Chain A
């Protein structure tokens, strides 16, 4: 694609048009703006832009107006390749939607483990110096604040259009902002599951948590949940185990909770792997029916556990929304419609639980994984 001179000029123009300057933001102010180092989606999205992209993502694909002769080049930098299928599913959703949109592409993956911040910085530098190869870079930061400078470096490169995955809180200091942020709001998910749990279990519940790795993601998934149930239902967290998002961590944490805090009637897990570990630990001592367990994400494994009566509820992401929306954004950039895009895209989240019928669960699952497929991934 980069060999096509006409497109180079077009892409450069589009990239320059697509970046938002920090000086233009916020579009409107929300509570606590001065205390935050980041914008909220509502502060930076044009009215109706998010809803329009969500709708486009959910609809049948409309092919690119002017077909490309050569494939676009996409660099995909992402962490936690060793523990999560989140990135693989996003990637599948992105590429399948690109296929539907009839946009030819070639993608290069730069993977790392979750905590390898330095390696991600290296990847970002390498993609930056290879801007003559790539048209688009999709960057899933290991931690947002740590990779902030690298996001800015890529966003500044006029030969690249940069999208950020898995975060939805644009840092204020980034100038320019990348072309788009695509994520599910963990904070929104925490409020959804909090609301559901309060409604179902009432007030004054004693519970425990299998938290992930200290950081923004865990602060939202676990911290926001903890604040919400404490504030609105007077719930009491007796123990918080950091299981590092690993199945062993969930298993170990649950063993400790069962032994040391038998008064805990609910275990909140911050991801699928820990939820599965927690379920196994409960099953090992025959407690799976006694403790109310939550997961995070609504992956196929979690839904199976709900069907089996081992997991009780989970904030379920429409998993393929992020990848599919990114494909739609690429199309908008290629068609010169980037002004129509929201700076922050949020995928849909709904609570899946054990009181739903099997048909309802199946239907949710099909919608969530409409591109990457229901069941185990085949790569």
Chain B
């Protein structure tokens, strides 16, 4: 557990208080255990066989480096929506260098990672120097990077790469775990060490907790924000390399939903979108949770569109469970029961009742007067 809550004496603490440092991890773990229990009942043979567990880890591995780096970005109160485009552009550049210019795979991979760092640097500078808010800045840069990838590659699919690339993306040559899983876990360990053992890690928490106070204590907030985006860009590029290896192909339109998937995993893992609280292990659990859930839905042969519904529901449940376990919201009021039972919410409940009532009324009227509707034009 890599939670950043302050250490407090254990003696005389209630169970809840003792659990508090771990709550960010408990949310996704509770959901993971729920999925495991459910699948153990309904489809144990298929879900728990080695090849399927391998598949879950392979799917999750792609997101691990990005989730680790996104934990830093979000902890600093930032967000990076450009990671899918960074991954695609890095992958495209790497592919072109190998295919068109005959670069060796290790050099091309290294260049892709540096390009990712460069794109992260540009993101950081746009945010800190041009003072464009993170959300808008990275959204705009997402368009820029995707556009450049399309300018370079157009509709071209670049495929069939050297062994090193496919080894990074889907290799099984290591003894117990697939190569991308090892890469993903190593990035998580590196992220843990950076967060807990370096000045950058501590400054990240401090900046997210209170940027103004951090500035006053002498931390160069802007510089450390740039560092976080460079880190993010590099990890997105690594994910681009892994994706290229996984599919043994890359295209400018690849990786369209990386940002939403990674942000969801990080938030589910207990890292606060309001900054100041990070959990690398929680992010790992979040990534695993999303992969396990999608795999479970496919194993159960549930229709594709329900995957979106289920993903949203699991994210809400995980974060709600986390909030409930915390027994307080950001205003310091009591937990979920208190939030839902608050007298202040009575007007909201009335509004909800009015909306549902209006919906029911209109549905009834619509059914009574249902008939043929003529199209316009």
| Interface residue stretch chosen among A19-27, A110-118, A176-184 | A110-118
Contacts of B160 in A (CB 8 A): 173
Contact A215 B247 (CB under 8 A): no
Contact B249 A146 (CB under 8 A): yes
Contact B55 A111 (CB under 8 A): no
B37-95 residues with Cβ-Cβ distance < 8 A to A are 46, 49, 51-52, 55, 58-59, 62
A144 CA / B159 CA spacing, docked (Å): 10
Tell which of A110, A111, A126, A143 touches B251, judged by Cβ atoms closer than 8 Å.
A143
Tell which of A109, A129, A215 touches B157, judged by Cβ atoms closer than 8 Å.
A215
Q: Does A214 contact B (CB under 8 A)?
A: yes
Please give the distance in Å from B84's CB to the nearest CB on chain A. Answer: 10
- Which applies to chain A's interface (DSSP): helix, strand, loop or mixed? helix
Q: Does A232 contact B (CB under 8 A)?
A: no
A95-127 residues with Cβ-Cβ distance < 8 A to B are 108-112, 115-119, 121-123, 125-126
Please give the distance in Å from A133's CB to the nearest CB on chain B. Answer: 9
Contacts of A82 in B (CB 8 A): 305
A192-225 residues with Cβ-Cβ distance < 8 A to B are 213-216, 218-219
Q: Does A233 contact B (CB under 8 A)?
A: no
Contact A122 B55 (CB under 8 A): yes
Q: Does B204 contact A (CB under 8 A)?
A: no
A146 CA / B246 CA spacing, docked (Å): 10
Contacts of B305 in A (CB 8 A): 81-82, 111
Tell which of B150, B158, B247 touches A118, judged by Cβ atoms closer than 8 Å.
B247
Contact B247 A112 (CB under 8 A): no
Contact A130 B46 (CB under 8 A): yes
Q: Does A149 contact B (CB under 8 A)?
A: yes
A121 CA / B157 CA spacing, docked (Å): 16
A117 CA / B377 CA spacing, docked (Å): 39
A-side interface residues, number (CB < 8 Å): 34
Looking at B155, B160, B246, B255, which has the most chain A CB atoms within 10 Å of its CB? B155
A298-313 interface bits toward B, Cβ cutoff 8 Å, 1 = contact, 0 = none:
0000000000000000
B143-157 interface bits toward A, Cβ cutoff 8 Å, 1 = contact, 0 = none:
000000010011111
Q: Does B122 contact A (CB under 8 A)?
A: no
Contact B157 A145 (CB under 8 A): yes
Please give the distance in Å from A377's CB to the nearest CB on chain B. Answer: 15
**Closest chain A residue to B257, Cβ basis:** A116
Please give the distance in Å from A190's CB to the nearest CB on chain B. Answer: 15
Which 4 A-B residue pairings sit nearest by Cβ, starting from the closest? A214-B155, A111-B304, A145-B157, A146-B249
- Extra A-B contacts (17), CB below 8 Å, given A112-B304, A219-B155: A108-B301, A110-B304, A115-B256, A119-B294, A121-B247, A123-B298, A126-B52, A129-B55, A130-B46, A143-B251, A145-B157, A145-B158, A145-B249, A213-B253, A214-B155, A215-B251, A216-B157
